[in-house]
Amino acid sequence: MSNTTGTPKFQTILAAQGQEVLDSRAAMVLKRAKAAMTKKLSDLDEKRDCIETEILNLTDLSVETKDSLRPGDKNFNAKEWVDKLCSLKMDLALLEDEIAIAEEVAAEYFEVATAETAE
């Protein structure tokens, strides 16, 4: 594609005004940073889903048969179960804090709509 003034494209690039170049670079940096922020939020949501699934699986203590009072399976260990559930709940609480901070950054710096800002 040729320039209407007949100036070669390479010369046009070299002659570009400072603000024009800065604006182009700023737009590219914003695009990359916004994409990174969106990916971070997505990754955090995926982590939360995994922890919540683990909690659901752990708390499925259905009895094996109608006449059984044994929760889950014959190898149920109450101490291990409690420790694991507390650990998962702690992980989830810390992750929720991280998500809240990430959503705050996304809204403040990138105007990325999050679950928190949509309410």
pLDDT tops 70 at residue 46: yes
Residue with tokens 């109608």: 66
What is the reported pLDDT for 33? Answer: 96
Q: Give the mean model confidence (pLDDT) for residues 52-75.
A: 77
User: For residue range 75-97, what is the model confidence (pLDDT) as tens digits?
Assistant: 888 899 999 999 999 999 999 99
For 94, residues 6+ apart whose C-beta sits below 8 A from its C-beta are none
Largest CA distance in the chain: 90
* Helices and strands (H, E) in the chain, number of each type: 4, 0
**Selected residue with higher pLDDT from 15 and 89:** 89
Of the ranges 52-56, 69-73, 83-87, which one carries the lowest mean pLDDT score?
69-73
15: amino acid identity, one letter: A
